[in-house]
Amino acid sequence: MFTGDCDFPNSKLDQQPHKVAIPPPQPLVKSLKNTVKETFFPDDPLRQFKGQPPARKFILGVRYIFPFFDWASSYNLSFFKSDIIAGITIASLAIPQGISYAKLANLPPILGLYSSFIPPLVYAMMGSSKDLAVGTVAVPSLLIGSMLGAVVNTNEDPKLYLQLAFTATFFAGVFQASLGILRLGFIVDFLSHATIVGFMGGAATVVCLQQLKGILGLEHFTHGTDLVSVMRSVFSQTHKWSWESALLGFCFLFYLLVARFVSTKRPKLFWISAMAPLTSVILGSILVYLTRAEKHGVQVIGELKKGLNPITIMDLSFGSQYLSTTIKTGIVTGVIALAEGIAVGRSFAMFKNYNIDGNKEMIAFGMMNIAGSCTSCYLTTGPFSRSAVNFNAGCKTAVSNIVMAIAVMITLLFLTPLFHYTPLVVLSSIIISAMLGLINYEEAIHLWSLDKFDFVVCMSAYFGVVFGSVEIGLVIAVVLSLLRVLMFVSRPRTSALGQIPNSTIYRSIDQYQNAITIPGILILQIDAPIYFANSSYLRERISRWVDEEEDRLKSSEENGLQYVILALSAVGNIDTSGITMIGEVKKVMERRGLKLVLANPGGEVIKKINKGKLIEVIGQEWIYLTVGEAVGACKFMLHTCKNVEKPILNGLASGKEARNDNNV
């Protein structure tokens, strides 16, 4: 054990080639400014305004808020041709999907068309993605239907239900825009990939189960979304099943799935899948009209009102007794819509090698939903299916959204009567075919092989939605995501390091089996910042490492442990609890006859260690720039102590022999 009798020679200290530098102190205002900048403005969005005259700053500001003006100047006829084709293609998908998803939210079908008119125009002006196609989506629609339907029955009071839906959309827009303006987009990142996969898969399963009402032609159905309630409702009404509706539904579902399969196998035939929903609506309407199937149990949409979006700003209900429900619905659906829209936008931006600004996207989503809530629209975002069609159709800019909006406008003005005979069972088939693509079982299998905890998170979210409710599943998903973050923070990884042969490199002995441990020295690396949440754990874990190393040395009859080196290169920051913890570890090591050594502390860490007077406790001579230098110093001390101990032991032996001779 280290006794402390062999002090580090001053001559050796003078020969040290490197010394850990302490950053110079910064003024409080400058320090706070740097902290705020790193936290909220990592991309430095104001960089382009530096050194520019006022007129130029104004132009840059307009382009920043409205990216449309940034690329409009370079727009050409070739781009316009591509955008027209893409816009008409996604319109053929948006019209039937919009009607279908509105029914899913228990809203009038016409609102699905309204929501594909105004929001895309707003996004085309403010959005930064070239490929995102704006419209309604299934999961937020289901959330709106389940959360608002729990407090207001849409059949008993449809006007109030509409007001709550518009108000929830308004709050969703305000929440989304606020996150973007305040640069708080990182909040959405707390929904991990595994969480989203499980939640979306569960929500898609629930949506498919809900469509059994339309497929089987049932008029009365449960308001619950869990598997048990749906199955009970389905099988308790077997005598009301309509075989005509079921046959029609399964035929169109088969057609839609075959169309998607063909487009998947041959991407150039993407238009087959894109046109399939509209084709289904047209064929279904013609079939019902010719056979008068609505008189034989096949339910139809009925009359759709002609005309553009009515203004609904006066229908926003801020004084209602259900205000808390609308706020909660708006925030929950807003987060889900943001997570999906930004993820989709980034995915397609990666394919075309350009970047999108997440905070600007949040502002764009927020503004289009605020505008939509005032013009008879409910929540919209960038759905994957529609954006994928837009991408495959060869869109060049957001003008494809404008073309789609114009196509929807023409439909609203002149073509809505044609949807009178559209069977609801076709809409159910369209929804089911779209939702089956969200049940990503291959990704769940990949999560199992990659990270078991992520798989547990994924499946917990899935089963929470399927067997509980969408809200329960979402809560489980968020809680597990936060738990994962807390686990990483409160239980950081520590590892023992060894020397890579024929080098001065030190790496984990678990990762590199050929790494060599240094006799008498234990090198530990901490792989996370040291905070109040993990300081106690790290103190206990370091003690356990020392216990295990001493037991190993005893069992192998090697020399005892004398030095413990803490490699702090991965410790980006430390708080007062962390400073106290290192001081306590120092005392524990001294009681055990060991010496604590620090290696490669970062600027923020060494600055706080200095302010906390911990350098005086540990000793400047025991803080090193690299692990290699720390090991070299410890080896020198071990060698020096042995050389000092040898003559002392020899002298003791000689004295003992002399005393024995005298006694004789």
The CA-CA-CA angle for residues 655, 656, 659, to 5°, reads 85
Torsion over CA: 167, 172, 177, 179 (sign): positive
Indicate the pairing of strand 595-599 with strand 563-567.
parallel
Indicate the pairing of strand 521-526 with strand 506-508.
unpaired
pLDDT at 119: 95
Distance (Å, whole) CA 115 – CA 375: 9
List, for the chain, all residue ranges whose pLDDT scores fall below the cut of 50.
1-5, 9-15, 17, 645-664
Distance (Å, whole) CA 36 – CA 30: 10
Torsions phi, psi of 635, nearest 5? -60, -40
Torsion over CA: 8, 9, 15, 20 (sign): positive
pLDDT at 29: 83
Q: By 3-state DSSP, what share of the chain in percent is helix, strand and coil, each rounded to 5?
A: 65, 5, 30
- Distances in Å between the alpha carbon of 49 and those of 54, 590, 636? 9, 56, 56
Domain boundaries, the chain: 44-68, 75-484, 492-642
Indicate the pairing of strand 521-526 with strand 563-567.
parallel
Q: Which of 202, 230, 204 is nearest to 218 (CA)?
A: 230
Instruction: Give residue-wise pLDDT tens across range 182-228.
Output: 888 777 777 778 888 888 888 888 888 888 888 887 777 777 778 88
Q: Say what the alpha-carbon torsion angle 620, 623, 625, 627 is, to the nearest 10 degrees.
A: 160
Q: Say what the alpha-carbon torsion angle 470, 474, 476, 477 is, to the nearest 10 degrees.
A: 130
Please give the order of strands across the beta sheet that includes 595-599: 506-508, 494-499, 521-526, 563-567, 595-599, 623-624
Please name the residue that has the structure tokens 């389905």.
Answer: 234
* Cβ proximity of 380 and 105 under 8 Å: no
Distance (Å, whole) CA 402 – CA 88: 10
Torsions phi, psi of 381, nearest 5? -155, -160
* Cβ proximity of 246 and 234 under 8 Å: no
- Distances in Å between the alpha carbon of 481 and those of 190, 195, 457? 6, 7, 7
Q: Which of 425, 324, 382 is nearest to 134 (CA)?
A: 382
Crossing angle of the two packed helices 603-611 and 576-591, in degrees rounded to 10: 70
pLDDT at 643: 56
Q: Which residues contact 53 (CB under 8 A, 6 or more apart)?
A: none
The single-letter DSSP state of residue 522 is: E
Q: Which residues contact 16 (CB under 8 A, 6 or more apart)?
A: 629
pLDDT at 433: 87
Distance (Å, whole) CA 657 – CA 653: 6
Residues comprising the chain, all counted: 664
Distance (Å, whole) CA 604 – CA 355: 31
* Cβ proximity of 123 and 377 under 8 Å: no
Q: Which of the four CATH numbers 3.40.120.10, 3.30.750.24, 3.40.50.10190, 3.50.50.60 does domain 492-642 have?
A: 3.30.750.24
Residue 10, token pair as written in the block: 């001053």
* Cβ proximity of 434 and 111 under 8 Å: no
3-state secondary structure 301-329: CCCCCCCCCCCCHHHCCCCCCCHHHHHHH
Residue type at 508 in one-letter notation: S
Q: Report the 10 Å Cβ neighbour count for 491.
A: 14
Question: What residue ranges in 155-210 does DSSP mark as E strands?
Answer: none
* Cβ proximity of 401 and 187 under 8 Å: no
Residue 115, token pair as written in the block: 């929501």
Distance (Å, whole) CA 493 – CA 484: 14
pLDDT at 121: 95
Distance (Å, whole) CA 124 – CA 82: 16
Q: Which of 594, 639, 617, 506 is nearest to 12 (CA)?
A: 639
* Cβ proximity of 372 and 179 under 8 Å: no
* Cβ proximity of 399 and 75 under 8 Å: yes
* Cβ proximity of 345 and 67 under 8 Å: no
Please name the residue that has the structure tokens 């837009």.
Answer: 390
Crossing angle of the two packed helices 470-490 and 138-149, in degrees rounded to 10: 110
